Structure 1
Amino acid sequence: MKAVILAGGLGTRLAEETSIKPKPMVEIGGKPMLWHIMNIYAAGGIKEFIIALGYKGEVIKEYFLNFYALDNDITVDLSDGSVAIQHRNQTDWKVHLIDTGLTSQTGGRFGRLRHLFAEDETFMATYGDGLANIDVAQLRAFHEAHGKQATVTTARPPARFGGVVFEGERVAEFTEKPQVGEGWVNAGYFVLHRRVLDLITDDSTIWEHEPLEQLARSGELMAYRHEGFWQPMDTLREKVMLHEMWESGQAPWKVWK
């Protein structure tokens, strides 16, 4: 099974980082967000990826073109310029880097990938900016068991603000807002049948509007409720928080060895 990762958006709320690179290439612990997401999938047995490129897609292409050399020790013979890779790390992923347009919406990007799937194929998909300790194999089993065309992973909204308890004018307690009681939101990590791509009209189609709404109305959209960790990276504060989690060795989304 393949996994599609949408990696073409502008990421305007992270302008400090995304002025020179696409959002999925913002680094957490020295590795791009995209690398973290791919490892989540690989831990569940998904090792073929389709990266939907757009804004600064050349940065992602350069990363994967140089991935093998950068991930291993190398020897450079300066007398003739030859390079020898010292085989240490071998990542058994296949990565398709596909231009899906600079201004395409989320649905439009999916639509531009139709030709990569067989008529009866099922694939996974997610956004390039969300991390979760999701069990990909369990998600896949859930989808296969219900037999509908689409599954969306839902999660509790992450805490964005601290909670304050007062005694008069004095702050008696300050805690992180708990990630409970906030309802459920779209966390990405979809499982989709190739047929759902027929609901996409053109590049302007927003996946979260017409296609998902139509799937819900027709009873073809099921929700996989993820009770664990999920955190999007929308702001610099969230980027710093994720980086600190990784550096402390307490990154819940690290489900791989």
Structure 2
Amino acid sequence: MSSAPDFSKIPVAILCGGKGTRLKEETEFRPKPMVMVGDRPMIWHIMKTYAHYGFQNFMLCLGYKGQMIREYFFNYDWNHNDVLLELGEKKVTKLNNGHEENWKVWMVDTGQETMTGGRLKRLASYIDKMDSDILLGTYGDGVCNVDIAKLLDYHYSHGKLATMTTVRPASRFGELVIEDNLVTYFQEKPQTSTGWINGGYFVLHRKVLDLIQGDDTVFEAEPLKTLAALGELAVYKHDGFWQCMDTYRELELLNKLHHSGKAPWQVWK
């Protein structure tokens, strides 16, 4: 019987380079993964979810305003610990352990205009340095409460090259049932009963990167289509919470959930 994989050695790639034009109220000033949900940026919430299951190696595909993500993590200890700063000697001493994150954060410039597949491809040389045949990957603008340990178990069980987490997002509109010109049933923004969509939270064998031609490759186009045609793209259906942050209204929803103290994605609490 093979031993359980060491999650801390499996890289997690997060796509952070897009311009997020549909959320221009925020992304005019910062990259989308740095938009705040509560008192922490979206990227932190995503990483914290993975870390809850033991993942520690995060490869951030930087692009648009990537320097802001660099600065956030370069200053992470400074901003989340009590410190003693000795001005004359320019010496900084950490006084406590103000956070529990023991993450390795690979910040990789993947270009300003590079497509999603191209961004993943640019990680290849770094992934090759790690003792893992697989990588996990997701987008920098969506949170969910998928059990990542079960997702990984499922991936190993079917032996395919890739697993995509699929979700059924809440409808943007209320659902009506009408009989004889009377509303007989109403539900405000229910989860759609059909129409599974790509929710991110992928598990990919290293070989998947070989299907990506270069910077202009959209991961959701030819690579995923090729995997599907080969019968190598499995789906993991997640019926639980999932929410992207494409619009300001969706950002407001995430903040409302956070401030309620019952945010479904915050599995670490």
**TM-score (structure 2 length as normaliser):** 0.90
Structure 1 residue identity aligned to 2:77: Y
1:234 aligns with 2:246: yes
Counting only pairs closer than 5 Å after superposition, residues 3-22 of structure 1 correspond to structure 2 as 3-22=12-31
1:110 aligns with 2:110: no
Which residue matches 2:7?
A: none
Name the SS for the 1:52 alignment partner.
strand
* Deviation, structure 1 residue 195: 0.4
1:251 aligns with 2:260: no
Which residue matches 1:83?
A: 92
1:99 aligns with 2:109: yes
Where does the alignment leave 5 or more consecutive residues of structure 1 unmatched?
Answer: none
Structure 2 residue identity aligned to 1:3: V
1:28 to 28, 37, 41: 37
* Deviation, structure 1 residue 87: 1.8
* Deviation, structure 1 residue 44: 1.4
* Deviation, structure 1 residue 73: 1.5
Structure 2 residue identity aligned to 1:91: E
Deviations 1:201-246 (A, max 9, x none): 1111000000000000001100000010000000000000000100
* Deviation, structure 1 residue 79: 5.1
Counting only pairs closer than 5 Å after superposition, residues 41-190 of structure 1 correspond to structure 2 as 41-78=50-87, 80-88=89-97, 89-118=99-128, 121-163=133-175, 175-190=187-202
Name the SS for the 1:97 alignment partner.
strand
Name the SS for the 1:243 alignment partner.
helix
Deviations 1:132-154 (A, max 9, x none): 00111111110011111000000
Q: Distance in 2 between matches of 1:182 and 1:155?
A: 10
Query: Is the contact between residue 157 and residue 182 of structure 1 (CA under 8 Å) also seen in structure 2?
Result: no
Q: Distance in 2 between matches of 1:116 and 1:77?
A: 37
Q: How many residues align?
A: 257
Query: Is the contact between residue 130 and residue 233 of structure 1 (CA under 8 Å) also seen in structure 2?
Result: yes
Q: Distance in 2 between matches of 1:38 and 1:100?
A: 19
Structure 2 residue identity aligned to 1:4: A
Name the SS for the 2:30 alignment partner.
coil
Q: Among all aligned residue pairs of Structure 1 and Structure 2, give the percentage whose two residues are the same amino acid.
A: 50
Structure 1 residue identity aligned to 2:85: V
**TM-score (structure 1 length as normaliser):** 0.94
Query: Is the contact between residue 11 and residue 127 of structure 2 (CA under 8 Å) also seen in structure 1?
Result: no
Deviates further, 152-161 or 47-56: 152-161
Structure 2 residue identity aligned to 1:124: L
Q: Distance in 1 between matches of 2:38 and 2:181?
A: 40
Q: Distance in 2 between matches of 1:183 and 1:192?
A: 23
Q: Distance in 2 between matches of 1:165 and 1:137?
A: 39
